[in-house]
Amino acid sequence: MKSPKAGFVNTPIYKGSTALYKTVDQMEKCLADPLKKTFPAYGRFGSPNVRELEEEITRLESGYASVCTNSGLSAITTSIHAFVSSGDHILVVETAYKPTRNFCDSLSRFGVETEYYSPLLKGTELRKLIRENTRLVYLESPGSNTFEVQDVPSLVHVCVQLDVVTIMDNTWATPLLFNPLKVGVDICIHSATKYISGHSDSILGVVVCNESTYARVRAEAIALGQCGSSDDAYTALRGLKTLPIRLREHENRAIELCRWLQKQPLVQNLIYPGLSDHPQHEIWKRDYRGANGVFSFRFVPSVSRECAIQFLESLSRFALGHSWGGVESLIVPVEFSSTGHLVRVHAGLEPLEDLIADLAAGFRLMDIRKPTTPRKVELDAEILHPT
Ligand SMILES: *Cc1c(COP(=O)(O)O)cnc(C)c1O
Kindly give the distance from the C-alpha atom of residue 125 to the centroid of ligand 1, in angstroms, as a whole number: 28
Is the model's pLDDT at 385 over the cut of 80?
no
What's the pLDDT tens digit per position in 189-232?
A: 999 999 999 999 999 999 999 999 999 999 999 999 999 999 99
Is the model more confident about 73 or about 366? 73
In angstroms, the Cα distances linking 110 to 77, 85, 113 are 14, 8, 9
Grade residue 47 by pLDDT with cuts at 50, 70 and 90.
very high
pTM over 0.85: yes
Is the model more confident about 331 or about 375? 331
pLDDT at 31: 85
pLDDT at 30: 87
pLDDT at 122: 98
DSSP H or E run through 346: strand 342-346
Is the model's pLDDT at 378 over the cut of 90?
no
pLDDT at 37: 78
Q: Average pLDDT in the 94-113 region? A: 98
**Which residues face 320 on adjacent strands?**
331
How far is CA 355 from its chain centroid? 24
Is the model's pLDDT at 111 over the cut of 90?
yes
Q: Is the CB of 71 under 6 A from ligand 1?
A: yes
Question: How high does pLDDT run on average in the chain?
Answer: 93
Please report, rounded to a whole number, the percentage of residues in the chain having pLDDT higher than 70. Answer: 93
Tell which one of 193, 232, 330, 332 to mutate to probe ligand 1, the residue whose CB is within 8 A of the most ligand atoms: 193
**Of 270-274, 290-294, 342-346, 376-380, minimum mean pLDDT range:** 376-380
Q: Is the CB of 78 under 6 A from ligand 1?
A: no
**Which residues face 270 on adjacent strands?**
297
Opening angle at CA 332, ends 279 and 266, nearest 5: 65
Is the model's pLDDT at 369 over the cut of 80?
no
Residue nearest atom 7 in ligand 1 by C-alpha distance = 72
pLDDT at 5: 85
In angstroms, the Cα distances linking 198 to 236, 238, 348 are 8, 9, 10
In angstroms, the Cα distances linking 284 to 277, 287, 288, 289, 385 are 12, 5, 5, 9, 10
Q: Is the CB of 235 under 6 A from ligand 1?
A: no
pLDDT at 372: 46
pLDDT at 93: 98
Is the model more confident about 181 or about 33? 181
Is the model's pLDDT at 108 over the cut of 90?
yes
Grade residue 35 by pLDDT with cuts at 50, 70 and 90.
confident
- 123 within 8 A of 154, measured Cβ to Cβ: yes
Q: Is the CB of 232 under 6 A from ligand 1?
A: no
Residue nearest atom 15 in ligand 1 by C-alpha distance = 171
Is the model's pLDDT at 4 over the cut of 90?
no
Count other C-beta atoms under 10 Å from residue 7's C-beta: 5
Which atom of ligand 1 is nearest the CA belonging to 140? 13
Please report, to the nearest 10 degrees, the dihedral formed by the alpha carbons of residues 5, 7, 10, 14 taken in order.
-30
DSSP H or E run through 238: helix 230-262
Is the model's pLDDT at 78 over the cut of 90?
yes
Q: Average pLDDT in the 337-359 region? A: 97
CA distance 64 to 187: 10
The DSSP annotation for 152-205 comes to HHHHHHHHHHHT-EEEEE-TTTHHHH--GGGGT-SEEEEETTTTTT-SS----E
Grade residue 379 by pLDDT with cuts at 50, 70 and 90.
very low
CA distance 155 to 175: 20
Q: Average pLDDT in the 149-161 region? A: 98
pLDDT at 374: 47
Kindly give the distance from the C-alpha atom of residue 72 to the centroid of ligand 1, in angstroms, as a whole number: 5
Grade residue 386 by pLDDT with cuts at 50, 70 and 90.
low
Q: Is the CB of 169 under 6 A from ligand 1?
A: yes
Which atom of ligand 1 is nearest the CA belonging to 76? 10
Grade residue 377 by pLDDT with cuts at 50, 70 and 90.
very low
Which atom of ligand 1 is nearest the CA belonging to 144? 13
Tell which one of 149, 171, 178, 199 to mutate to probe ligand 1, the residue whose CB is within 8 A of the most ligand atoms: 171
Q: Is the CB of 200 under 6 A from ligand 1?
A: no
Please report, rounded to a whole number, the percentage of residues in the chain having pLDDT higher than 90. Answer: 88
